[in-house]
Structure 1
Amino acid sequence: MSNLLVEKNNGIARVTMNRPPLNVLDIATMRELTTALCDAGADAKTRVIILAAQGKFFSAGVDIADHTKDRVGEMISVFHGLIRALWSLEQPTIAAVQGSALGGGMELAFACDFIVASEKAKFAQPEIQVGVFPPIAALMLPRLLPRNKAFELVLTGDAIDAHTAERLGLVNVVAAPDDFENALNAFAARLSKLSGAILRMTKRALQIPLRGEKENALREIEALYLNELMQTADAQEGLAAFMEKRAAVWKDE
């Protein structure tokens, strides 16, 4: 798996995205990441799973080239398959966000159970600025944040820093860059010292109340994205403008 690094030590599996500097998620990388996470989860010795990244960015999100009409259906299926795989892992998961988490990168981070962030980290859902919306963020941010802040992040695309994300309850721990690995390891150790069997069972209990509701809502959002949003002139214009490095000209249709 050339796009990933996988380490296992003392009950902690660490899966690291290795496409620096931006760690853009193309379809092939997302498939690899899904497989690596599922493999880590299938190991009975694994008590905690860390999702990390090499480079300046945690992830700049899903490759814009995979948003075209001929690829978007596969992209949504593969990316949401990755998110569903994360949600289905029985072990607690920690996103180790050392840099910017943008778009699908932010969605990937908050799909984990916990986020440990460097002070250098930034979080944003900038999709609206290129004429689309983030389905996972639309589903989950109103559940994770106060409604008005969730709407602000998704409808403006503006970024927040790590300390703001912590104050909003999105991030569990913020650490200075020089202390980031120590803080991450200390947080993981709080979990890995516990019974793996009881951790898995307790996480299952925590997930039961929202499982059916979340899946039904995501299917409805996916249909809106693929069958309505991607048929609009403005979605095509926004994506084309981004690829061509120019300002979009909106038609409001």
Structure 2
Amino acid sequence: MEYKKIKYSLEGDTAWILLANPPLNIVDLEMMRELISALDVAENEAEIVVISHEGKHFSAGAEIKEHYPDKAPDLIGTFTELILKILNSEKITVCAVRGYALGGGFEIPLACDVILASSNAKLGVPEITLAHYPPVAIALLPHMIGWKNAFDLITTGEAVDAHRAREMGIVSRVFEQESFDEDVKKYVNGLLEKSPIALKLAKKALKKSTAVDFGKVLGEVNRIYLNELIKTEDAVEGLNAFLEKRKPEWKGR
């Protein structure tokens, strides 16, 4: 597959997948499909998969125009396929984040085993400000950081910095901006020094310890989003207001 919005490279046993749609690396349907394809390739030829990005920001989120009711099913279905591809990977998945990681651009890192963040990173899910909610974050965050922290992030829509995200248990490590790329490579090289079968089985055991079927959970969260939320007047008004750069007028229905 020829990639237009991502870049893929293999360095030894590490597959590097870069979001390459600057300046904000908006995750649209085309990028989602390219990421799915690249992950399939990586599953067959790498031991570690690193998802990172070009430019100053990891991603400001999914394409707003693809959230409208007529396009939302395709968007949600494809994004769910991408997220489950990451969650179900047998490989070690590392996400390296600089700058903004918002909305869908935050949920991709959430699906990875490890998030390495630059000290300038800002992470969050602002969907509630558009009268939407982030299905993947709702499915994953309560199990990762507890109900109250998840509720706070999702219902305020506020982004947190890298250090706060680490305190909450979202980010694994925070590296300084100046040495970020080098530190990420050192981290990955440290994993490569371990037994690949031991890493694979440790990941398998860790997954068993959570005993959560995220595919089932996400299916129910998506059902509420598509069958209830997206059909409200406020959900459409939030999108319109964002694109028209004005304050939304909520109807509560």
TM-score, with structure 1 as normaliser: 0.96
The answer to which of 148-157 and 206-215 deviates more is 206-215
Matched, 1:191 2:178: no
State the partner residue of 1:32.
Answer: 34
Cα deviation 1:220-252 (Å, max 9, x = unaligned): 111100000011111111111111111100011
Q: Distance in 2 between matches of 1:175 and 1:144?
A: 21
State the partner residue of 1:4.
Answer: 6
Q: Distance in 2 between matches of 1:96 and 1:175?
A: 10
State the partner residue of 2:152.
Answer: 152
Letter of the structure 2 residue corresponding to residue 138 of structure 1: I
> Which runs of 5 or more residues in structure 1 are unaligned?
none
Letter of the structure 2 residue corresponding to residue 76 of structure 1: I
CA contact (8 A) 1:38 1:89 kept: no
- Where in structure 2 are the equivalents of 1:14-53 lying within 5 Å? 14-43=16-45, 46-53=46-53
Letter of the structure 2 residue corresponding to residue 167 of structure 1: E
Identity across aligned pairs (percent)? 37
Matched, 1:167 2:167: yes
State the partner residue of 1:106.
Answer: 106
- Where in structure 2 are the equivalents of 1:1-253 lying within 5 Å? 1-43=3-45, 46-210=46-210, 213-253=213-253
Letter of the structure 1 residue corresponding to residue 194 of structure 2: L
TM-score, with structure 2 as normaliser: 0.96
Letter of the structure 1 residue corresponding to residue 238 of structure 2: G
Cα deviation 1:6-50 (Å, max 9, x = unaligned): 12113111100100110001101100011101210111xx22110
CA contact (8 A) 2:58 2:105 kept: yes
After superposition, the CA RMSD in angstroms is 1.2
Deviation at 1:212, TM superposition (A): 5.5
Deviation at 1:198, TM superposition (A): 2.5
The answer to which of 148-157 and 211-220 deviates more is 211-220
Q: Distance in 2 between matches of 1:182 and 1:159?
A: 26
- TM superposition outliers: structure 1 runs of 4+ over 6 Å: none
CA contact (8 A) 2:84 2:215 kept: no
Deviation at 1:168, TM superposition (A): 1.2
Deviation at 1:189, TM superposition (A): 1.4
Q: Distance in 1 between matches of 2:33 and 2:172?
A: 28
